[in-house]
């Protein structure tokens, strides 16, 4: 984004395209928000810097997303769930947490109530979700086609202005789009957020995650394992068949070294680091590396603008809530905006944006804080933490309301 030297007013800007809602970022949050507005009759433009081919057929990025039941419901309502092949959906039947060298396991199961099914959630690779959202936004079978949705691909936003009169977005080719509401869905290092003058607490953790699909000897029985070791964190996420997504967290230099290994050497290392829990592993895909940084935006809204997805809250992936919360933010904003449009009210009114902000803060703050506490304690290998860590797991195991509450949070967030 370029720097602004003098105040710029929307009314004084040129206009090459006009719409009502401008969404910056065609990732899952941006596309979900645009789809959520499909029935509102509002003209929506999604601006995305990637080419259309990369949106229509997204590259595998290694992320296996643990979807809550709520997220599946939202994807279903958007018409995207039906476009995901059931053969690539893996049931998450149980989640187990282990600590250090202890064999003690804290297990979370679907609660025995009306809401529950036989699973805590579903695991789906991120590229399948992104492909389905894009297909829903562009296929003839969804409401989006009858809506006024335009996707401007290969278009990078380099400047934004939002004031009471409206919003204007300048693209890198000089074109200017104008609208009544601006939605920032441009990831955790959001340039739009900076441009709007919204601060954010960014915590770079100095660690990276290596994510890779593996095949293995033993049956995972649909169980996800999160093992907080003393010098590493490793998650084994069950995929269809004798296949798992391994998510290994280590200091950045150690992950860079592992990512450079040949597949056979990497598989041997992962088998060793997972203590052979699933037997011998074989690497079944490319390893992807994600440096870890969490982000909490100080506001989720500004004049005629809202932040959704990672642009609002960049979660640590350990509790698998980033996408789920992002989808929830997109649905929540789209619903408020659609209602306002339906009753002839201003879709960028500050009262509407305040309601969105409050709702998303209530949804996101507990999960963000709890995730921060878990990461802080279970990546601390010093002696007091080593004593506290297993004690807390054992205490939680004895308190069944806590376990049931966490299970519900895992399922519904």
Ligand X SMILES: Cc1cc2nc3c(=O)[nH]c(=O)nc-3n(C[C@H](O)[C@H](O)[C@H](O)COP(=O)(O)OP(=O)(O)OC[C@H]3O[C@@H](n4cnc5c(N)ncnc54)[C@H](O)[C@@H]3O)c2cc1C
Site for ligand X in 171-230 (CB under 6 A): 185-187, 191, 209, 211
What is the C-alpha separation between 131 and 237, in angstroms, rounded? 21
CB closer to ligand X, 157 vs 393 = 157
Stretch 78-107: interaction string toward ligand X, x if CB under 6 A = ------------------------------
Contacts of ligand X in 294-323 (CB under 6 A): 309-310, 317, 320-323
**Beta-carbon contacts of residue 397 (< 8 Å; ≥ 6 apart):** 104, 106, 107, 403
SS3 content of the chain, % helix, strand, coil (to 5): 40, 30, 30
Among 119, 203, 290, 404, binds ligand X (CB under 6 A): 290
CB-nearer residue toward ligand X: 158 or 399: 158
Task: Please give the order of strands across the beta sheet that includes 64-67.
Answer: 64-67, 121-125, 90-92
Give the nearer residue to ligand X in terms of CB position, either 47 or 353.
Answer: 47
Asked whether position 238 contacts ligand X by CB under 6 A, the answer is no
Provide the token pair at 221. Answer: 């029985």
**Does residue 22 touch ligand X according to CB under 6 A?**
no
Long-range contacts of the stretch 334-338 (C-beta < 8 A, 24+) = 334/32, 334/33, 334/35, 334/36, 334/37, 334/40, 335/36, 337/21, 337/37, 337/40, 337/42, 337/181, 338/36, 338/37, 338/39, 338/40, 338/42
Closest CB to ligand X among 99 and 186? 186
Q: Is 128 in the site for ligand X (CB under 6 A)?
A: no
Q: What is the C-alpha to C-alpha distance for residues 47 and 151, in angstroms, rounded to an integer?
A: 6
Question: Near ligand X by CB under 6 A, which window of 11-19, 27-35, 227-235, 256-264?
Answer: 27-35
Residue 121 sits in the site that holds ligand X (CB under 6 A): no
Q: Is 36 in the site for ligand X (CB under 6 A)?
A: no
Number of residues that bind ligand X (CB under 6 A): 33
Shortest gap between Cβ of 15 and ligand X (angstroms)? 18
Residue 326 binds ligand X (CB under 6 A): yes
Stretch that binds ligand X, among 15-23, 48-56, 80-88, 361-369 (CB under 6 A): 48-56
Q: What span, in angstroms and rounded, lies between the C-alpha atoms of 169 and 191?
A: 12
The DSSP result for 186-246, as a single string, is S-TT-HHHHHTT--EEEEEEEEEEEEEEEEESS--TTEEEEEE-SS-EEEEEEETTTEEEE
CB of 197 to ligand X, least distance (A): 16
User: Where along the sequence are the contacts to ligand X (CB under 6 A)?
Assistant: 24-30, 47-50, 63, 65-66, 126, 156-157, 185-187, 191, 209, 211, 290, 309-310, 317, 320-324, 326
């Amino acid at each position: 984004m370029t720097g602004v030297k003098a105040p710029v007013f929307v009314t004084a800007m040129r206009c090459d395209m006009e719409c009502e809602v401008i969404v910056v970022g065609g990732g899952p949050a941006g596309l979900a928000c645009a789809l959520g507005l499909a029935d509102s009759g509002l003209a929506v433009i999604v601006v995305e810097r990637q080419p259309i081919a990369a949106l229509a057929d997204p590259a595998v990025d290694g992320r296996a997303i643990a979807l809550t039941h709520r997220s599946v419901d939202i994807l279903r309502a958007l018409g995207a769930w039906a476009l995901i092949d059931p053969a690539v959906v893996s049931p998450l039947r149980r989640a187990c947490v282990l600590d250090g060298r202890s064999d003690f396991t804290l297990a979370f199961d679907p609660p025995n109530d009306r809401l529950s099914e036989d699973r805590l959630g579903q695991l789906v690779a991120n590229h399948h979700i992104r492909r389905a959202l894009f297909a829903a936004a562009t296929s003839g079978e969804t409401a989006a086609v009858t809506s006024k949705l335009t996707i401007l691909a290969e278009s990078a936003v380099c400047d934004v202005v939002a004031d009471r009169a409206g919003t204007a977005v300048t693209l890198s080719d000089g074109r200017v789009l104008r609208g009544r509401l601006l939605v920032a869905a441009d990831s955790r290092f959001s340039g739009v957020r900076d441009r709007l003058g919204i601060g954010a607490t960014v915590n770079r953790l100095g660690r990276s995650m290596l994510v890779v699909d593996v095949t293995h000897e033993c049956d995972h029985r649909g169980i996800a394992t999160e093992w907080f070791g003393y010098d590493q964190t490793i998650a084994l996420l069950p995929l269809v068949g004798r296949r798992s997504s391994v998510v290994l967290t280590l200091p950045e230099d150690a992950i860079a070294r592992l990512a450079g290994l040949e597949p056979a050497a990497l598989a041997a290392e992962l088998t060793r680091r997972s203590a052979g829990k699933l037997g011998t592993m074989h690497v079944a895909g490319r390893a992807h590396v994600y440096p870890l940084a969490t982000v909490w935006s100080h506001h989720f809204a500004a004049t005629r603008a809202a932040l959704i997805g990672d642009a609002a809250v960049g979660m640590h992936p350990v509790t698998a809530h980033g996408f789920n919360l992002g989808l929830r933010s997109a649905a929540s904003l789209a619903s408020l905006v659609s209602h306002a449009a339906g009753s002839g009210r201003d879709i960028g009114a500050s009262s509407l944006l305040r309601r969105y902000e409050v709702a998303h803060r209530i949804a996101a703050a507990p999960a963000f804080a709890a995730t921060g506490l878990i990461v802080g304690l279970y990546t601390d290998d010093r002696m007091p933490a080593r004593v506290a860590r297993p004690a807390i797991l054992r205490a939680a195991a004895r308190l069944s309301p806590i376990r049931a509450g966490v299970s519900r949070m895992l399922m519904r967030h």
